[in-house]
């Protein structure tokens, strides 16, 4: 396998979404609804699936409320916001989500068995040429492709939170991912206005492997009383110009998501990725960050404040 190129934007976007074919997004949570918005914003019909219709509808409603704030700021017309929301159809079955689509993007929790089950269901109804994209943050695309028996069209399409705002799409090439699939993934990135990087499958890819190191170290510093939550975050915000400190970012991403990544990387890569005790404790308490209203910060309508 050759070494991936540096960050590039590649053309050929005409191959991304064959005329009239929708995209399926499986999972309407924090990432799934944002990913649905990204595709809807470029005029693609999106079918948004979750385990029950209410959750899929909630995902679409979150797109609507997020866009309402952008309209309020005068950065999007109300008509465009309406058009984007209207392009997203919540659905209650994987068959309804995937029939006739050119692309499936799975954004389910970080559990390999769950993802395998989802893609087995997807394979029963999606067209034989549909790209099978997983938004996994760290799990092996090689294993996923092999276990579902469709390695050639399985590829990592790793988005970043919040998906409509973040510029990167990390494309992950498994051992069995075909070059035409990689080319289509590149074209998809271009079509949705993202810059892609290509990474050969490895635990945590490029982004999660690097990102969790800073987050976990910040938690260990908090545990050993080096500084407060706010001061650790300000260290990186003001001293390194990170848009958001590592603890606030963990709240944004979800403490459960970060814990799952760390546990996986610990198993695959060793001791340096052992999850800090404070992270496991907060997850056990149900303090998962912004989405539950509490993590390292308490989240209010005005934003995060130190707990």
Which spans of this chain sit near ligand 3HC (rule: CB under 6 A)?
A: 66-67, 70, 73, 75, 137, 160-162, 164-166, 208, 211, 243-244, 249, 253, 257
Minimum distance, C-beta of residue 248 to ligand 3HC, in the bound complex (Å):
8
For ligand 3HC, give the closer residue by CB, 164 or 176.
164
For ligand 3HC, give the closer residue by CB, 88 or 249.
249
Minimum distance, C-beta of residue 91 to ligand 3HC, in the bound complex (Å):
22
Please answer whether residues 21 and 102 qualify as being in contact, where contact means their C-beta atoms are separated by less than 8 angstroms. yes
What is the torsion angle, in degrees rounded to the nearest 10, for the CA atoms of residue 228, residue 160, residue 156 and residue 287? 50
Minimum distance, C-beta of residue 242 to ligand 3HC, in the bound complex (Å):
7
Minimum distance, C-beta of residue 12 to ligand 3HC, in the bound complex (Å):
26
For ligand 3HC, give the closer residue by CB, 9 or 75.
75
For ligand 3HC, give the closer residue by CB, 176 or 204.
204
Please answer whether residues 104 and 184 qualify as being in contact, where contact means their C-beta atoms are separated by less than 8 angstroms. no
Q: Encoding tokens for residue 42?
A: 């470029």
Minimum distance, C-beta of residue 218 to ligand 3HC, in the bound complex (Å):
13
Minimum distance, C-beta of residue 161 to ligand 3HC, in the bound complex (Å):
3
For ligand 3HC, give the closer residue by CB, 59 or 211.
211
Q: Find where tokens 């989240």 sit.
A: 299
* DSSP assigned state of 52: S
Q: Encoding tokens for residue 143?
A: 């294993």
Q: How far apart are CA 252 and CA 270, in angstroms?
A: 26
Please answer whether residues 201 and 172 qualify as being in contact, where contact means their C-beta atoms are separated by less than 8 angstroms. yes
128 burial (CB, 10 Å; 0-12 / 13-18 / 19+) is: exposed
Q: Encoding tokens for residue 106?
A: 């799975």
The full length of the chain comes to 307
Minimum distance, C-beta of residue 132 to ligand 3HC, in the bound complex (Å):
18
For ligand 3HC, give the closer residue by CB, 151 or 249.
249
For ligand 3HC, give the closer residue by CB, 4 or 162.
162
Q: How far apart are CA 47 and CA 229, in angstroms?
A: 39
Output the residue with the shortest Cβ distance to ligand 3HC.
Answer: 66
CA dist 49 → 32, 55, 93, 96, 279 (Å): 9, 8, 7, 9, 30
């Amino acid at each position: 396998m050759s070494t991936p190129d540096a960050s590039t934007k590649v053309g050929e976007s005409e191959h991304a979404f064959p005329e009239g074919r929708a995209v399926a997004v499986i999972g309407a949570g924090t990432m799934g609804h944002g990913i649905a918005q990204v595709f809807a914003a470029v005029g693609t019909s999106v079918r948004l699936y979750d385990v029950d219709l209410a959750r899929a509808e909630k995902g679409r409603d979150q797109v609507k409320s997020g866009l309402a704030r952008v309209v309020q700021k005068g950065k999007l017309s109300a008509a465009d916001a309406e058009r984007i929301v209207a392009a997203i159809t919540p659905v209650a079955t994987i068959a309804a989500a995937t029939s006739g689509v050119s692309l499936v993007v799975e954004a389910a929790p970080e559990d390999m068995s769950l993802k395998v089950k989802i893609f087995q269901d997807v394979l029963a109804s999606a067209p034989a040429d549909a790209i099978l994209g997983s938004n996994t943050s760290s799990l092996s695309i090689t294993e996923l492709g092999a276990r579902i028996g469709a390695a050639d069209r399985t590829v990592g399409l790793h988005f970043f939170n919040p998906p409509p705002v973040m510029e990167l799409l990390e494309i992950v090439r498994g051992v069995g991912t075909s070059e035409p699939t990689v080319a289509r993934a590149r074209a998809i990135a271009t079509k949705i206005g993202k810059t892609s990087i290509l990474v050969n499958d490895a635990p945590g890819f490029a982004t999660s492997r690097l990102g969790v190191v800073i987050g976990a170290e910040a938690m260990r510093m908090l545990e050993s009383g080096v500084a407060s939550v706010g001061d650790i975050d300000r260290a990186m915000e003001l001293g390194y110009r990170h848009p958001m400190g590592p603890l606030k970012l963990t709240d944004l991403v979800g403490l459960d998501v970060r814990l799952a990544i760390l546990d996986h990387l610990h198993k695959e890569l060793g001791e340096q990725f052992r999850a800090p005790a404070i992270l496991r404790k907060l997850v056990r308490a149900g303090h998962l960050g912004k989405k539950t209203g509490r993590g390292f910060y308490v989240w209010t309508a005005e934003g995060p404040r130190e707990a």
